[in-house]
Amino acid sequence: MSSRKPSPFFTPGPTTYPGSLAMLSLKRDLQMPVVLQTPNPTDPTASVIHTRFGSFPHTTLLNIPWGSQVIASQQSKRDAARGKKRKRGTADAAPDDADDNDSPVFETASSGFVHVLPPTPELWTAGLQHRTQVVYTPDYSFVLQRLRVRPGDVVIEAGAGSGSFTHAAARAVFSGYPGEGAEKRRLGQVFSFEYHEPRCESVRAEIAEHGLEGVVEVNYRDVYEEGFTLGPEAPRADAVFLDLPAPWLALRHLSRTEPSPLNPATTTRICTFSPCIEQVQRTVTTLRELGWTSIVMYELQHRRLDVRRELVSVAYDGLRGVNSNAASVDEALTRLRHLEEKTMEFHGKGKDTDTPAKKEKKGKDAVGRDKQEAIRRRERELQVWKEGRLVHRTEQDIKTHTSYLTFAVLPRAWSKEDEERCRKKWAVKTDTEDSNGDVTMKDDDAEV
Amino acid sequence: MQTHIRSKDQIVLALPSGLLKILEIQPHTNISIGKFGTFSANLLLGRPYHFTYEILDQQDGQSDSQLRVVPPSELNAESLADVVPTPNESRDEKIETDDGCEFEIVGENGEVIMRNNRLTIDDPSRQALTMEEIEELKKASTGSGKEIVAKIMAAHSALEEKTSFSLAKYTLRKTKKYIRRFTVLPLDVGMLSQIMLEKDPWRIMELREETLGLIASWANIHHSGFDGLHPLEGTQGAGRWLVLDDTGGLVVAALAERMGILYPTDTSDDEPTTSDPTTTANSPEPAPRIVHPRTQSATNNTLTLLHSNAQPNISLLKHFGYVFEDPSPTHPLHTHLKTLTWLQLLDPTADQLYREPPTIPDETLATLKSGKRGAYHRKRRRWERVKRVADETAAGDFDGLVMASHMQPAGVLAKLLPLLRRGAPIVVFSPTVEPLTELMDLFSRERKAAFVRGVQGREQGDGAPPFDEADFPVNPTLVLNPMLQTARAREWQVLPHRTHPMMTSKGGAEGFLFTGTRVEPAEGRVEARGKFQKRRKVAAGDVSGAVKEANSALKEADEAIKVSEMVDEGRDTYEDLK
Ligand SMILES: C[S@@+](CC[C@H](N)C(=O)[O-])C[C@H]1O[C@@H](n2cnc3c(N)ncnc32)[C@H](O)[C@@H]1O
C-alpha cells in the first residue's frame, strides 16, 4: 500500500539493507550505531567504519543476515600499489593519495570482528550519542510498565533530550504506520517536546533516519510556558513522561480544561523523573493540588552481575587468574611439609630458592614462548573453565541512583450530565430483593 | 486503557486498608463490602475508572446504599496538610503500619476503646495539626466514618488540649479503616501481578512488576505493525515470540499486553457515555456476517507457548476474558496465542494429535448422524491446528524467546536457539540466581574458547583434548553478550517533612534475568582484536621485568586464542586488579 520501508526497530526483515540503522556490537558494553550505505563509487573508502576492533567496509555489512558475525577487512591493492609507488620513488606518492585509479580491494583481516544486530531501544540507548543525561533501560522499562503504555496509546514526553526514552516509548505505543489502512485501530504515537533547538533537531533527524516518522513527532517548544496542546484534537495523550528539571512548572498545562492535551476518554497516567528529593516534593505537592491521585514514588535499584569461576588450590600455582593458596587444611600441610623438605635439601647452599617460581626465574629469555605454551597447555588440560566454584558478584561500577520515579493518575472528567446519563442507562431498581448473583466481599476476607 | 467500566469487566476494588479485591461486575447485582455496606453494581457501570467512592448510610427502607464520589481535593487534603516536622519518625511510622490491634480506637459498635497507651503522647508539639485540618477532617468524613471521627474527637477532648491535636492527627489516619471508601481500578497485568504477589507468590514464580517491565524490554516485545492474519511476503509472519511460562499465564499476559493482543476489542452494549472519536475508532465495523478465524491461526503478533503437560497452565488469563479450554472466538488470544507440547515440537509423529485422522468421503459423511459428523469435523480441525502449529514452530524464525519456567535453561536453549532468527533476543527469568549463574557459565569466554578449539580439533584431528559433548550442553557461539541482572523498585512515602523510603516491604525471591542475543558465528577461524594489539606495543617497550612481560605475553597469547568473544571488559578489570 505504501513504498514506506518499515522501521528496522520494528520489522528488521531477514537481512541488513541500504539505509537501515544497524548496531555494530563490538563487545557487551560497546554498541555502535551505523546507517548502512551502498558505497559511493567515486570514493569507496568513505564507506568504511573504523573501530578499534578493525575496519569494516559497508559492503561487508550490507545484505547479510542480521545477527551475523563479520570479520574485519584490510585494504589490499591500494596499500600494495602505494607501496610500489613509493619504492619507485614517485614524487606524488602522498600517503593519502585518493585519486588512485585502482579501486581498493578489501580482504579479510587476520583478526577483529563485530556482530551486526538489528536496532532495539536497548542497543540504541547503549550506543547513542549523549547530549544530555539519558533514561536507561531499567528505568524506562519500569516507567512504561507502570504507566501501562500499550500499542495504540498516545504518550507525551518532555524533554526529548538524547532520545533514549523516546525510542523505548515509540516501541511501546507502536501499532502501525499512519496511512497504511490501519486506521481502524488507534495508532500509537509519541509526542516529544524539547526546547533546546539543536537537541530538538538532532532527535528529529534520528527519528527520520530510523523510520519512525509518524510514530514520533518531535516538537520544538518550551513546555513550562506553552504546554503540550497541539491543536483542538491533539495530542489526546493517555500517558505523560516528564524528564525536566522542574516538572511542577509543566503540570498546570496537563489539565482537563479544554483545549486539553489529554485524552478525555481515559485516565491519564503520569511519571516524572527527577534526581533530587526536593524536586519530588515540589512535584508531589503540585500533583496533589491539581487533583492527581494514586500518587506513589519509587526508586529503582538495578544491578548487573558478573559470574566467574573461583579457583583456589595449591595445584593451580603458576596459572593466571587463580588463587593458588591452600584450599584446605590438608593442602596447607602438604605444602608446608614440602617447603620444610626443600629448606632442608638446599640448606647450606647459600641460596634462597624457596618457591618454584623464583627458582625458574632465569631472566627474560627463559620466560619465553615455551613457558607460555606450557602454561596454556596445562590450563587446557586442567580445563579450568569447568573447575572450581561458580560465584557471582555485582559488577564493578553500578549506578546507585538515577532518579526518583513519581507516578500519579488523573481520572476522566465526569459531569453531572454524564452521571445523569449513566443513572438512566444503569438504573438501580429499588424493589430488588433477590440477591441472586450478588458479589459479596467480606472485609475480613484479607487473603484477597 | 479502558475508558469506562463495562458489564462483565473484571475490576479491582482497592480498600483503604490496602486490600485489593478482584470482582467481575454484573449488571443488576449488589456488591457488598463486608460491614462497609452493600451497593448496586449499576452505580459503577458506565463510570470511569480510578474514582474513589464513599458508601453512604442506607436510607430507611432501602436494602442498599448510595455512593458518593470523593473528589481528589478531599482525598489529597490530608497529605497536603503541612505539619510541624516530627523528629521522632520511627514512632510515627510504627503507628502507621500497625494492623489495628495495637492501636484500636473504635470498637465494633462504634464505642471508643483506646486500648493503646500510645495515645497519650508525651511530646505533642511534634504532632501539630492545624484547625483547618481538623475542619477538613470533619468535612471529609460522612456517614459512619464521620460519626467515628466525632466520637474520637469527643473522647479526646477530655485530654489536654495540646494532645488533642496529635490525637486528631492519628485519628485522621486510623479512620481510613472506618471511612467507607474504595477506589475502582481496572484489572490489568500490573495490577494482577501485584495481587498475585500478595496472595500466591509461588504461582507466579514471585515475579514482580519491575521484572515484567524488564522482560518486555529485553525481549523487544512490541506490536509488529501488521495486524492481518496473512504473513508478510518472505517471512513466517511479523512479531512472533516463543514463550515458556510457569507463572500460570502471567508472563503470557504481560507479553500479550505489550503486543496489543490481550484485551478484547470493545463489543459490549454499553457504549461510553461521552462520545469520543478515539474510542469509536476502536470498535469494529458492523459486519453483515462474522466468520471467526480458526483458533491459533494468526500469523502476525503471535505468542507460541511451549508446555510440558498435555495442556498449558495459563489459567490467570481468565481475568482477561480468555479461557484456554473454551476460548471466546472474538478474543485476540484465540487466534494469536499458539500452544504446543515439547513432544509435538521435538517428536511430532509420536503425538497422536499430530497424526492425521482418517478421512471420510463426503457421501459416507452425509449418512452419519449429525453428532458423529460434528465429532469428525472437530477431530479434523484439531489435527489441522496441531500440525500447523507444530510445523510452523519447527520452521523457526522467531523474533525472540522468553522463558519463565522451572525447567533447566541450558537444555531448553539447546533446543530453541536454532528456532530463533539471527539477532533475536533471549530472556530467561529465574526467581533465584543459581540456575542463571550456571547458564552464564555455559557462555563464559573460556568455555567458548574451549568449545571452538574442540570443534576445530575434531575437524582437523589435531591432538587437542577430547571434546566432551556434556561440557557444552548448548553451543556457546550462538549467544552474544550474555548478561545477568536484577532490579527492585523501592517505594517511598512522600509527605511534607516526612519523606522517606517505606519502612517495610516484601522479601522473597530477588528475581533475575539472563539476557543475550542469538547470533551466528562467521565461518572459519576468527580472532579477536582490541587490547591485544595495544598490549603488544606496551610490552615491547616495557623494561620493568621479565615477569611482567611474560604476563603480558601470556595475555596476548590468550587473546589470540579467544575465538568468538571480544574482551569482556568487566572480567578484565577484575583480573587486572588481582
Ligand atoms: C535529562 S534531559 C531528557 C533526557 C531524555 N529523557 C532521554 O532519555 O534521552 C532533559 C531535557 O529537557 C529539556 N527541557 C528542559 N526544560 C524544558 C522545557 N521547559 N521545555 C522543553 N524541554 C525542556 C532539556 O533541554 C533537556 O534536553
**What percentage of residues in chain B have a pLDDT greater than 70?**
67
A139 reaches B (C-beta below 8 A): no
Distance from CA of B167 to the nearest CA of A (A): 24
Give the pLDDT of residue B523: 81
Residue A388: pLDDT over 50: yes
Q: Give residue for cell 578449539.
A: B453
Q: Do A411 and B42 touch (CB under 8 A)?
A: no
In a domain, residue B175? The reply is yes
The answer to whether residues B260 and B223 touch, using CB atoms and an 8 Å cutoff, is yes
Give the pLDDT of residue A348: 64
- Taking only the tens place, the pLDDT of each residue in B528-542 is 765 443 333 333 333
Distance from CA of A320 to the nearest CA of B (A): 8
Angle subtended by helix axes B209-218 and B250-259, to nearest 10: 50
> From ligand 1's centre to the CA of A279, what distance in Å?
15
Residue B390, CA atoms < 13 Å, CB-side half-sphere? 22
Q: Which of A76, A383, A412, A124 is nearest to B464 (CA)?
A: A383
> From ligand 1's centre to the CA of A158, what distance in Å?
6
Mean pLDDT of A248-258: 95
- Taking only the tens place, the pLDDT of each residue in A191-201 is 999 999 999 99
Give the pLDDT of residue A181: 58
**What percentage of residues in chain A have a pLDDT greater than 70?**
81
Closest residue in B to A55 (Cα) is: B529
Q: Determine the Cα–Cα distance for residues B303 and B340; give it in Å rounded to an integer.
A: 11
Which residue of A267, A380, A446 is in closest CB contact with B465? A380
Give the pLDDT of residue B92: 37
Distance between alpha carbon A310 and the CA centroid of its chain, in Å? 30
Cell of B75: 482525598
The answer to whether residues B124 and B162 touch, using CB atoms and an 8 Å cutoff, is yes
φ, ψ dihedrals at A130, nearest 5°: -80, 115
Closest residue in B to A293 (Cα) is: B72
Distance from CA of B365 to the nearest CA of A (A): 41
Q: Determine the Cα–Cα distance for residues B12 and B192; give it in Å rounded to an integer.
A: 9
Mutation target among A422, A433, A442 for the B interface, most CBs of B within 10 A: A422
Q: Determine the Cα–Cα distance for residues B218 and B481; give it in Å rounded to an integer.
A: 12
User: Could you give the C-alpha distances from B347 to B297, B310, B387, B406, B451, in angstroms and in order?
Assistant: 22, 14, 12, 22, 28
Asked if residue A163 has its Cβ within 6 Å of ligand 1, the reply is yes
- Residue ranges of domains in chain A: 8-77+108-119, 122-298, 305-346+386-394
Mean pLDDT for all residues in chain B: 76
Interface list for B 238-277 with A (CB within 8 A): 238, 257-260, 270, 272-274, 276-277
Which residue of B260, B490, B492 is in closest CB contact with A152? B260
Q: CA geometry: angle at B488 spanning B570 and B400, to 5°?
A: 70
Give the pLDDT of residue A438: 55
Amino acid at residue number A115 = H
Mean pLDDT of B150-161: 46
Q: How sure is the predictor about B556, in pLDDT bands with cuts at 50, 70 and 90?
A: very low
In a domain, residue B338? The reply is no
Q: Give residue for cell 549467544.
A: B479
Amino acid at residue number A426 = W
The answer to whether residues B206 and B509 touch, using CB atoms and an 8 Å cutoff, is yes
CA quadruple A417, A421, A426, A431: dihedral, nearest 10: 80
Residues 6+ apart with CB under 8 A from A397: none
Mean pLDDT of B304-326: 95
Length, in residues, of chain B:
578
Distance from CA of A199 to the nearest CA of B (A): 25
DSSP string, B276-323: -HHHHTTSPPPPSS--PPPTT---SSEEEEEESSSS---GGGGGGT--
Q: Give residue for cell 533471549.
A: B426
Distance between alpha carbon B483 and the CA centroid of its chain, in Å? 20
- CATH number of the structural domain spanning residue B63: 3.10.330.20
**A-B Cβ pairs (cutoff 8 Å, strict):** 433
Q: How sure is the predictor about A320, in pLDDT bands with cuts at 50, 70 and 90?
A: confident
Q: Determine the Cα–Cα distance for residues A342 and B97; give it in Å rounded to an integer.
A: 68
> From ligand 1's centre to the CA of A133, what distance in Å?
9
Mean pLDDT of B401-409: 97
> From ligand 1's centre to the CA of A159, what distance in Å?
3
Give the pLDDT of residue B546: 37
Give the pLDDT of residue B366: 86
Highest mean pLDDT among B77-91, B267-281, B414-428: B414-428
Q: How sure is the predictor about A346, in pLDDT bands with cuts at 50, 70 and 90?
A: confident
A179 reaches B (C-beta below 8 A): no
Q: How sure is the predictor about A213, in pLDDT bands with cuts at 50, 70 and 90?
A: very high
Q: Do A386 and B488 touch (CB under 8 A)?
A: no
Mean pLDDT for all residues in chain A: 85
Distance from CA of B327 to the nearest CA of A (A): 23
Q: What residues of B are in contact with residue A280 (Cβ under 8 Å)? A: 492, 494, 499
Protein fold of A8-77+108-119: Vcp-like ATPase; Chain A, domain 2 (3.10.330)
* Beta pairing, strands A268-274 & A239-242: parallel
Residue B6: pLDDT over 90: yes
Mean pLDDT of B124-138: 45
Give the pLDDT of residue A210: 96
Interface list for B 443-502 with A (CB within 8 A): 444, 446-447, 449-450, 453, 464-465, 471, 480-481, 483-492, 494, 496, 499, 501
In a domain, residue B76? The reply is yes
- Taking only the tens place, the pLDDT of each residue in B269-282 is 444 433 333 433 44
In a domain, residue B409? The reply is no
> From ligand 1's centre to the CA of A325, what distance in Å?
54
Asked if residue A121 has its Cβ within 6 Å of ligand 1, the reply is no
Q: Determine the Cα–Cα distance for residues A112 and B503; give it in Å rounded to an integer.
A: 52
Mean pLDDT of A330-337: 93
> Looking at per-residue confidence, does B288 or B23 come out higher?
B23
> Looking at per-residue confidence, does A69 or B57 come out higher?
A69
Identify the domain containing residue B147 by its residue range.
1-93+125-187
Angle subtended by helix axes B72-80 and B131-140, to nearest 10: 150
- Taking only the tens place, the pLDDT of each residue in A394-410 is 999 888 999 999 999 99
Mean pLDDT of B152-171: 46
Length, in residues, of chain A:
448
Q: How sure is the predictor about B31, in pLDDT bands with cuts at 50, 70 and 90?
A: very high
User: Is this model's pTM higher than 0.95 or not?
Assistant: no
E-assigned strands of A231-383?
239-242, 268-274, 293-310
In a domain, residue B453? The reply is no
Distance from CA of A70 to the nearest CA of B (A): 6
ipTM score over 0.90, yes or no: no
Mean pLDDT of B319-327: 93
Q: Determine the Cα–Cα distance for residues A128 and A164; give it in Å rounded to an integer.
A: 8
Q: Do B210 and A300 touch (CB under 8 A)?
A: yes
Ligand 1 atom with least separation from CA of A199:
27
Amino acid at residue number A208 = A
User: Which of B140, B166, B187 finishes a domain?
Assistant: B187
Q: What residues of A are in contact with residue B573 (Cβ under 8 Å)? A: 396
Give, as one character, the DSSP assignment of residue A42. Answer: T
Q: How sure is the predictor about B464, in pLDDT bands with cuts at 50, 70 and 90?
A: low
In a domain, residue B69? The reply is yes
- Taking only the tens place, the pLDDT of each residue in A132-153 is 999 999 999 999 999 999 999 9
**Residue minimizing CA distance to atom 2 of ligand 1:** A161
Mean pLDDT of B400-427: 97
Q: How sure is the predictor about A78, in pLDDT bands with cuts at 50, 70 and 90?
A: low
E-assigned strands of A54-166?
54-57, 68-75, 106-117, 154-158
In a domain, residue B80? The reply is yes
Q: How sure is the predictor about B150, in pLDDT bands with cuts at 50, 70 and 90?
A: low
A101 reaches B (C-beta below 8 A): no
Mean pLDDT of A430-448: 47
Ligand 1 atom with least separation from CA of A135:
8
Asked if residue A212 has its Cβ within 6 Å of ligand 1, the reply is no
Highest mean pLDDT among A71-85, A306-320, B309-323: B309-323
Give the pLDDT of residue B522: 87
Give the pLDDT of residue B284: 47
Residue B341: pLDDT over 90: yes
Distance between alpha carbon B17 and the CA centroid of its chain, in Å? 24
Residue B62: pLDDT over 70: yes
The strand pairing partners of B207, in sequence order, are none
Residue A446: pLDDT over 60: no
What architecture does CATH give domain A122-298? 3-Layer(aba) Sandwich (3.40)
Closest residue in A to B275 (Cα) is: A265
Q: Determine the Cα–Cα distance for residues B255 and B243; give it in Å rounded to an integer.
A: 9
What is the b/e burial string over A305-329, where b = at least 16 CB atoms within 10 angstroms of the residue's CB? bbbbbebbbbebeebebbebebbee
Q: What residues of B are in contact with residue A167 (Cβ under 8 Å)? A: none
> Looking at per-residue confidence, does A436 or B111 come out higher?
A436
Residues 6+ apart with CB under 8 A from B557: A372, A373, A376
Give the pLDDT of residue B16: 82
Q: How sure is the predictor about B475, in pLDDT bands with cuts at 50, 70 and 90?
A: very high
A107 reaches B (C-beta below 8 A): no
In a domain, residue B89? The reply is yes
Give the pLDDT of residue B234: 61
Mean pLDDT of A270-299: 96
**What percentage of residues in chain A have a pLDDT greater than 90?**
61
Give the pLDDT of residue A372: 81
Asked if residue A158 has its Cβ within 6 Å of ligand 1, the reply is yes
A 10 A CB-CB count for B441 gives 20
Give the pLDDT of residue B236: 72
Give the pLDDT of residue A28: 87
Mutation target among A438, A444, A445 for the B interface, most CBs of B within 10 A: A438
A424 reaches B (C-beta below 8 A): no
Number of domains in chain B: 2
Mean pLDDT of B87-110: 36
Give the pLDDT of residue B121: 39
Give the pLDDT of residue B268: 43
Give the pLDDT of residue B545: 38
For chain B, first and last CA: distance in Å?
53
Give the pLDDT of residue A258: 86
Asked if residue A66 has its Cβ within 6 Å of ligand 1, the reply is no
Residue A11, CA atoms < 13 Å, CB-side half-sphere? 23
Mean pLDDT of B47-63: 85
Mean pLDDT of A242-246: 97
Amino acid at residue number B472 = F
